[in-house]
Amino acid sequence: MVQITEVKGNSRENRISTHTHIKGLGLRPDGIAEKQSGGFVGQVAAREACGVVVDLIRAQKMSGRAVLLAGGPGTGKTALALALSHELGTKVPFCPIVGSEIYSTEVKKTEALMENFRRAIGLRVRETKEVYEGEVTELTPEETENPLGGYGKTISTLLIGLKSAKGSKKLRLDPSIYEAIQKERVTVGDVIYIEANTGACKRVGRSDAFATEFDLEAEEYVPIPKGDVHKKKEIVQDVTLHDLDIANARPQGGQDIMSMMGQLMKPKMTEITDKLREEINKVVSKYIDQGVAELVPGVLFIDEVHMLDIECFTYLNRALESRISPVVILASNRGMCTIRGTEDIVAAHGIPPDLLARLLIVPTHAYDAEEVKRIVKIRVATEGLAIAEAALDKVAEAGTNISLRYALQLLAPASIVARCRGAQEIGVQDVAECQDLFLDAGRSAAAMVGDGSGFLV
C-alpha cells in the first residue's frame, strides 16, 4: 500500500534572523521581477540582473567572471546574494565570507582567499558499482577448526540470503565481510547492500515489512529494494576542490578519486601548496575528460569587499583568470575611497580600476516612500504588532528621510512604550518618544561634535 500523508500548512510568518524571510529572487518565468515577491520589496532592476546571472551560472557560462553589488547600506545587497544562492539550489556550492575574515595571525591572506575559492568549486563524481542489495533472509556464519590450534574456532565463510522485489539469492561471502556486517549490526530483516568489488557493506535500514503500529519507534524503516538482488548501481558523490586539497595534503592509501574522499575525516591539518593544487587540478581534469566526474562551479560571495587590501585584489585578479574558477560576487557600500593597503590611491568602491573594469556591476538603489511603507507593514505583521495608520506613516517617513534600518528598529521599543501607557496599538506619540530616546547616526554625530567633547572632530 502506498503511504500518503497530509501536510498541514503554516500561515504564520516566521522571521528567525535578518534574512530568513528571503526565499528567492521573486522572478516570473519570463525573468521579470514582481514588485513584492520571494521576501523582496522593490529593487526590481537588481533582481532581474541577478536572474540573468543565475541563468548564466546554470548554463555554465559564468565561470571565472565576477559581479559587484554596489549600493548604500540597507539596500539589500546581502539579501540579493542569498536569494541568488536559493535560486541555484543546494547542489551548487555557495561560500559566503566577509572581507575582514581573511585576516588571521595563523593563515596567510592569499591562502585564506584561495581556500574559499576552492570551497566554492564542486566536483560531482559518478561511479557505477556492481552491488548486491536486498533484505536479509538468512545470516549463517560457517565455522572451522582454528588453524593455529587450540579449542577455538574461526569463521571460514558467511552464508547470507538476500531478497528483493524480483527474486532472491544466497551468497557465500569472505569472512572479512562478516566483520563489516557485525560492525553495521546487521540482523535478519535488515535491508543492506554489498559492493561486489570492494566487499564494503552498508546497512540501509529495517525492512518496512517489520514495521509496527507503535508511535515511538526508534528504527528507520525502508522499502524492500526494487529490481534484482545483483545489479549495477550509479553512486553520485559531491565534493569540493578544497576537500580534495585537504585529503591530499596528507596522502595515505590510493591516489584515485574515491581514496582521496575517504581521507576527508582525518583530523590532522597541513599547509596546502600551489604545486599540490596544480596536481589536483590535473587529476580532476583527467576524470572530467574520462566522464567520471563533472565540475560544478559554485558562487563565492565576498561582502564588504572594500576591506580587502591591494595584495588581496592582485591575488583575486590572478585567481579569476585560472582555468578552474567559481563565480565571484562582491558587495560594497562605499563610493570613492582609498584602497586599503595604499596611502593615496582613491578608487570607486575601494576596488582597483583594473579589477573594477572586469566586473559586472549591479546597482541597488534607496527605497522610495511607498516601498518603505510596504516594508514597515510586513515587519509589523511579522512581529505581531498593532499600529495606528498615522503612526505607520510616521515610521515610514523616518525610513525615507533617515534610514530604513533605524525606522524598523523603532517598532519594538514603540510597542513597549504603548503598552506602558495602556494603549492597544502603537500611536504617533509612542514613535515620537522613541525617536527622542534613540538617536539616529546623523543626530548622534552632530551631538558629539556640538557638545565640545571632540569625539568626531
Mean pLDDT, the chain, rounded, equals 79
| Fold (CATH) for 127-235 | OB fold (Dihydrolipoamide Acetyltransferase, E2P) (2.40.50)
Are residues 396 and 407 in contact, defined by beta-carbon separation less than 8 angstroms?
Answer: yes
For residue 13, what pLDDT is reported?
52
Using CA atoms, how far apart are residues 126 and 233, in angstroms rounded to an integer?
10
Closest by alpha carbon to 380, among 393, 367, 392? 392
Closest by alpha carbon to 387, among 434, 424, 422, 437? 424
- b/e per residue 47-71 (b: at least 16 CB within 10 A): bbbbbebbebbeeeebbbbbbbbbb
Q: Which amino acid belongs to residue 399?
A: G
Closest by alpha carbon to 68, among 344, 241, 320? 320
Summarize pLDDT for 196-254 with one digit per residue, the tens: 777 778 888 888 777 765 555 556 778 888 888 888 777 777 888 888 888 777 655 45
54-58 average pLDDT score: 83
87-108 average pLDDT score: 82
For residue 457, is pLDDT > 50?
no
391-403 average pLDDT score: 86
Q: Can you give the pTM of this predicted structure?
A: 0.67
For residue 267, what pLDDT is reported?
46
DSSP-based three-state secondary structure for 1: coil
CATH of domain 36-120+298-363: 3.40.50.300
CA distances from 414 to 232, 254, 407, 410, 434 (A): 65, 65, 11, 6, 6
Cα dihedral across residues 102, 106, 108, 113: positive or negative: negative
259-286 average pLDDT score: 69
Mean pLDDT is lowest, of 136-140, 183-187, 195-199, 242-246, for 195-199
- The yes or no reply on domain 369-450 and CATH 2.40.50.140 is no
For residue 12, is pLDDT > 80?
no
Summarize pLDDT for 340-362 with one digit per residue, the tens: 888 888 888 889 988 888 888 88
For residue 345, what pLDDT is reported?
86
Q: Where are the domains of the chain?
A: 36-120+298-363, 127-235, 369-450
Instruction: Retrieve residue 149's grid coordinates.
Output: 590450534
Strand partners, 237: 125
